[in-house]
Amino acid sequence: MKNKLYKGKYLLSGIKNGQKIRPSNWYERLMELDMNFDIQTKRFHFNGHLYAIDHPKYKHSVVVDFDALETERPDIRDEVIEIISLLGVEAYPISEDEEHIELMAL
């Protein structure tokens, strides 16, 4: 599934039609797609392509770097796009002057 609509960074909103998206841990499940298990430290590590934020307007949300996923993990990129479609998640592009949104990471 190659979808050129998503380029750059997007905020995936935790709100849909004024209501919180269900299941309530949708963003945690989404972020689990982009993590690896380190056998030596026995810890999970997120790769940084997806990360959760608590946005004042959009509540529990996820920032996705689609360009990085396209290059490094196209399979994960396609899964994220499918989840956006299935859950009806609202996706908002983040412009360069809005990069400060990353400071709100959970």
**Inter-residue contact 63 to 6 (CB < 8 Å):** no
| Domain housing 48 | 9-19+27-94
Helix, coil or strand: residue 34: helix
Is 4 domain-assigned? no
pLDDT in tens, 63-102: 999 999 999 999 999 999 998 888 888 899 987 655 555 5
Q: What is the pLDDT of residue 67?
A: 93
Instruction: Give the total number of structural domains in the chain.
Output: 1
CATH of residue 47's domain is 3.30.70.2340
For residues 86, 99, 104, 64, the Cα torsion angle rounded to the nearest 10 degrees is 20
Is 69 domain-assigned? yes
pLDDT in tens, 14-55: 888 888 887 777 888 888 888 888 899 988 877 788 888 888
Q: What is the pLDDT of residue 88?
A: 85
